Structure 1
């Protein structure tokens, strides 16, 4: 540590997670005295007792709802009559306040003229009913059931600031025909687009790492979908009863296809499963009455929990008697 300059030790101390570490640092070496005075932002949550050790703070970071905001109240309270108000009692003034914990868009809107920056904004169902179907550019996630059963929704453009789409977010939006998902999105929640009977096609960007179960369940008009090579597993019931889906290409990144995944896809005529897949779930292709080509390229035999197609039992996938081409290539 003696080889570090005062500047470099300040950089190191940014990663301290306890106030005691800052105190100990200055006690063990006189060279590092006054380290806390160099900070113009708080590297850790502070309280009224520890704030004085960082006298030059201009920017206040809040990582948790319980962090002390020193009178800079921005959370919204409800009165008995349903109105909302902000407590605006300033005890310590800061040039800027940065909030890292999740807040809904109502809070962002109510504080838009203040020196507060919100890093984690969720657009909730309450927000949507208040501000409409256009998702603001400051939103970083779309909350569970945000647009659920919104009959007036015909198309939606998700801004590039969004990284996650919550569970049941667009479920039951029967008139939703077009969705644009940006490359910033990394996860799509359970039942996200289930019951979107007017949705014809959708492109999932390569940034997405996981697709929740029942994600496109009963999207009866969905005829094409692109699954990116970033996906490792396809959730259970993911394409259940997508009766217009004709062809599906599964990328080589997929390891697991879960239970009932393509069950009831009555128009599905061709499936190619890459060698990366080591397990196919229960009744995965059950009631796929149009399926005529099914290829699974195995690099090595893989243990399966249920019989492969060809067994008259329907325990696993039951490709029906219409399957004319079936290959398990080893």
Structure 2
């Protein structure tokens, strides 16, 4: 199959370095002018590389410290790094797009406790001091210390999966969890019944186990991870002190940092040969 201009443009947008773009045009004559066909920057730019992408209309900002350009035909920005909700609203007024929006404690004070649908993550101490909250299904990340006080008694969770003695599991395709608040009385307007975490069967709608998902589930003794899972987050099973066996499917190629840190009784690991990377302090 012979690649045309469109196919090579689609392929090259996954390049990570400006030299890859340059070498493509130098090495293959028919792909000369590839960078000129882009109407957005597929990589962060500096003063030198900006001159090579001459027809950019939408400028993508991948990292907070990226160099920003407003010259030429640029009329809109797409921001990929994490911003709070207040920043998102300001950027939206200017016609820009934010891809990674976090709701923070200052946002709560300014905009209220209802989490907007654009929000993907909850910042530290976001719900500190509140008596009731709602966690929508759009949330894919919850930072630490959100439920560290003893005031929270009522929670509404749009996509509740399971309630154990130690944690509340929710959402998909990324399975998240929070430490079960000490004084919680109702979840989804029902009395809280804390079940044994060993009864939890991970749904097939889940493709990723989020960071610290099963952290400190002291009653967890064994778990079989289904083949629908392709990623295990950092510290996922850390300090599960009674966990003695686990089955990891061939769909997993990497085990993250501190994944089984503190699992002092873990003696049986059924692990596929597909795993090629073990993170720091994995065990």
* TM-score, normalised relative to structure 2: 0.64
Gaps of 5+ in 2: 186-190, 203-208, 226-235, 248-259, 269-283
2:170 to 204, 223, 230: 204
Aligned to 2:121: 141
| Residue 52 of structure 1, CA deviation | 2.2
1:125 aligned partner: 105
2:130 paired with 1:158: no
Q: Partners in 2 of 1:30 and 1:211 — Cα distance? A: 53
Shift of 1:207: 4.2
In the alignment, what sits opposite 2:65? 66
Counterpart among 161, 180, 186 of residue 157 in structure 2: 180
**1:102 Cα deviation after fit:** 0.4
How far the C-alpha of 1:249 sits from its partner, in A, is 9.8
Q: Highest Rg: 1 or 2? A: 1
* 1:208 Cα deviation after fit: 5.0
Distance 1:181 1:24 in 2: 49
Determine which structure has greater relative contact order: mean sequence separation of CA pairs < 8 Å that are 6+ residues apart, divided by chain length.
2
Q: Is 1:224 aligned to 2:224, yes or no? A: no
Cα distance in 1 for partners of 2:59, 2:104 equals 26
Distance 2:15 2:263 in 1: 46
**Alpha-carbon deviation of 1:157?**
2.3
Distance 1:10 1:229, change over 3 A: same
Number of residue equivalences: 225
Equivalent-residue separation in structure 1 for 2:238 and 2:22 (angstroms): 53
Contact 1:13 1:22 in 2 (8 A): yes
Gaps of 5+ in 1: 72-90, 186-190, 194-201, 240-247, 262-272, 285-301, 305-330
**Could you say if the C-alpha distance between residues 253 and 209 of structure 1 is closer, same or farther in structure 2, counting changes exceeding 3 Å?**
farther
Distance in 2 between the 1:121 and 1:233 partners?
21
- Contact 1:98-1:116 within 8 A present in 2 as well: yes
1:7-86 to 2 correspondences below 5 Å: 7-71=6-70
Distance 2:159 2:19 in 1: 43
Answer yes or no: is the 8 Å Cα contact 1:121–1:138 preserved in 2.
yes
Q: Which residue of 2 aligns with 1:81?
A: none
Q: Could you state the TM-score of these two structures normalised by the residue count of structure 1?
A: 0.56
Segments of 4+ in structure 1 off by > 6 A? 248-251, 254-257, 279-282
Q: What are the Cα deviations for residues 97-142 of structure 1, in whole angstroms up to 9, with x where unaligned?
A: 1111001112112223112110111111111122111111111100
Q: What is the SS of the residue equivalent to 2:59?
A: strand
CA distance in 2: counterparts of 1:223 and 1:250, whole angstroms: 23
Contact 1:203–1:225 (8 Å) recurs in 2: no
Root mean square deviation of aligned Cα: 3.9
User: Matches of 1:44 and 1:303 in 2, distance apart?
Assistant: 45
Secondary structure in structure 1 of the residue aligned to 2:23: helix
